Structure 1
Amino acid sequence: MEYQPSNNSSWVWRRICRVKQIIAAGYVDGVLDVQHTGYTPAGCYEWLKGAGVTVQWFRAVWNDWVVPKHQFMGWLFAHGALRINDKLLLYGLDIDDKCYLCGKAAKCMDHVFFGCSYSKQHIMEWCVDRQGSKLQKGVQAAVGMGAIYHVWHQRNCSENDCVLMVPKRVAELIIAEIGLRVRRRDEKDLTIGDKDWLKTMNLL
């Protein structure tokens, strides 16, 4: 526990040793004090992570119905980490401030996903006002995350390849992807009401 890495040690090794020192501070008489049962990887991780705050978007992004690649994009969106024009301009890049989806002069994330006429053509309507059973809310959130993914993908296609898919086709792709995820589930876990709802949404 007293070991200290030398100055010429690698960055990775120094980081590992730093975590080791943090963990060492939690031990009292050979027992990790915060657990009272000794060391376990899960308990140590929870202790290192600390008490966090559950954000509002957590259940929308991290639920079982969301396609993994959509989850990652939704996570970036929730953190405001997508490189929209206004962010790129901060880096000093010489770019056009127009929206690559509708062609109007708007460059912020709110416009791309909620104000743009392209996105508003029934693509982004799933992202708000989720209602229904737990399953229905989860599936609606999944479609919302799919909409974020595909709107961003179309924005990049328009910028890089000058190709833009019509909104109706994008909506069909989203439904197809979420429907595939739904159909992989065991129908025994679905109530009659949920089955009927999924069928009306062309997801089952």
Structure 2
Amino acid sequence: MTHSSCYTDGTWTAQTKYTPAMGYEWFRDRKRVVSWSKWIWNEHVLPKHQFVGWLYAHGAIRTKDKLLSYGLEIDDSCFLCNQAAESSDHLWCDCIYSRQVVQGLSQRLKIVFPVTEVINWCTQLTGTVMQKGVHLGLVWGMVYHIWQQRNKSRMEGILMRPEKIVSQIIEEVKARIRGRDFKMITKMDLDWLQSKELYVLET
């Protein structure tokens, strides 16, 4: 076919050559691009952390305030601290247990982590692409593990010490970093990783 049309920005325009890519672009579901996608679907974020992060960004994590809004009759107290009503804002911003995890990460790595809404924190990240990616890996690891601990507390009555959660998050991110092609990483980033004890050069 030598003469065809092309679908661009919602309209058909004259086109001299047709390609399968043009047809795909027309048939595919054209959804709104969201700003947070690049912060969750990042190579430094583990897939299991990405899934919980995706739920978090959509406001789809079923904290107790949401269950109450569905009409369920339940105790609304936080499973982690039992000192306030459970909501997304409380669970990741105000809960004493969660704050201990955040403070532990900050002390271990000398990095300031969010005590406010996570997506807003992501918008303020600075540094190189590598450094931002590591920050994202750590913060979504934190979101994942806090939610996991909340569920273990609910189902099994088990609550791990915050410092152990901190160590788990750091080890997972370190493993992710070790899988990178270090030929593509600058000396500046290597120095930064070593300063945070997230990577040790092999001797």
Q: Deviations over 1:162-201 (max 9, x none)?
A: 1011111111101111110100112111111111211222
TM superposition score normalised by structure 1: 0.77
Is 2:118 aligned against 1:138? no
Instruction: State the percentage of identical aligned residues.
Output: 42
Q: Which amino acid aligns with 1:49?
A: D
Flag structure 1 segments of 5+ consecutive residues without an equivalent.
Answer: 1-28
Specify the structure having the higher radius of gyration (Cα). Answer: 1
Distance 1:114 1:45, change over 3 A: farther
- The alignment covers a number of residue pairs equal to 174
Task: Tell me the equivalent position of 2:18.
Answer: 38
- For residues 96 and 45 of structure 1, do their structure 2 counterparts lie closer, same or farther at Cα, with a shift above 3 Å needed? farther
Query: Is 1:56 aligned to 2:35, yes or no?
Result: yes
Alignment correspondent of 2:196: 201
Which sits farther off after the overlay, 111-120 or 121-130? 121-130
Are positions 1:98 and 2:77 aligned together? yes
What is the CA distance between 1:144 and its match in structure 2?
A: 0.9
Match of 2:146 among 137, 146, 151: 151
Within 2, Cα distance between the matches of 1:45 and 1:169? 48
Give the structure 2 partner of residue 163 of structure 1.
158
Paired AA for residue 98 in structure 1: S
Give 5+ residue unaligned stretches, structure 2: 9-14, 104-112
Change in Cα spacing, 1:198 to 1:94, as seen in structure 2 (3 Å) is same
| Worse overlay, 84-93 or 164-173 | 84-93
SS at match of 1:34: strand
Q: Which runs of 4+ in 1 moved over 6 A?
A: none
State the distance in 1 between where 2:3 and 2:68 align.
53
Q: RMSD of the alignment, in Å?
A: 2.2
Change (3 A) 1:46 1:76: farther
Distance 1:132 1:104 in 2: 37
CA shift for structure 1 position 53:
4.2
Give distance in 1, aligned partners of 2:5 and 2:90.
50
TM-score (norm 2): 0.77
Contact 2:44/2:133, CA 8 A, preserved across alignment: yes
What letter matches 1:173 in structure 2?
A: Q
Matched with 1:191 is 186
Question: Aligned in 2, Cα 1:39/1:192: closer, same or farther, shift over 3 Å?
Answer: closer
- In structure 1, what is the equivalent of residue 168 of structure 2? 173
